[in-house]
Structure 1
Amino acid sequence: MSLTPEACRAGRALLGWSMRDLAERAGISLGAVNRLEGGETASREGTAAKITAALAVAGVDIVAGDDRTGAVLVYARRRA
């Protein structure tokens, strides 16, 4: 799954996080978040993985497909 700029912004919006909040929680620079959300691809995969993990810890799942992208706030996870 690929983290798109739109999904990143949607995830932050669901949580009410600024770019700085996300950068701190993901352990990356504010510039890295800004670049990813601006559509740049330099070292994006490592950055994307850290952002996706930080959002997941806060209860946000990234949605990605050929025809859609976004984020979903998960209130409770089902136990298997």
Structure 2
Amino acid sequence: MTFSSNNDIKKDIYPEQIRAARALLDWTREDLASASGLTVRTLARIESAQTTPRQTTIKALSTALEAAGVEFIPENGSGPGVRLAHRLSRS
């Protein structure tokens, strides 16, 4: 997966999805950077579409987020999204 020329991530994973995934997990950029092995600065540049990340970088991000329970939803006419793969139990 890489960024295309219009700053979206191929395979229907977009910077907005990365930010939304962090929000679902209640993760800071520092949390995701730690889980993925990236720097906070790199993550910030990716999330703001200021850089074209390498395929290995996108793989590290998606692997970390999916391992934490995020599921990426491809664009299907309603737009791309994210959701938690497992329902949260309310205490």
Judged with a 3 Å threshold, the aligned counterparts in structure 2 of structure 1 residues 24 and 32 are, in CA distance, closer, same or farther, namely: same
Aligned length: 76
Instruction: Select the structure that is richer in helix.
Output: 1
What residue ranges of structure 2 are gaps of 5+ in the alignment?
1-10
Q: Pairwise CA RMSD of aligned residues?
A: 1.7
Moved over 2 A (4+): 40-46
1:38–1:44 CA distance, 2 compared to 1 (3 A): farther
Q: State the identity as a percent.
A: 33
Which runs of 5 or more structure 1 residues have no equivalent in the other structure? none
Structure-1-length-normalised TM-score: 0.82
State the TM-score, normalizing by the size of structure 2.
0.73
Moved more, 36-45 or 46-55: 36-45
**Larger RCO: Structure 1 or Structure 2 (Cα < 8 Å, ≥ 6 residues apart)?**
1
Query: In the superposition, relative to structure 1, how do residues 45 and 2 fare at CA in structure 2: closer, same or farther (>3 Å)?
Result: farther
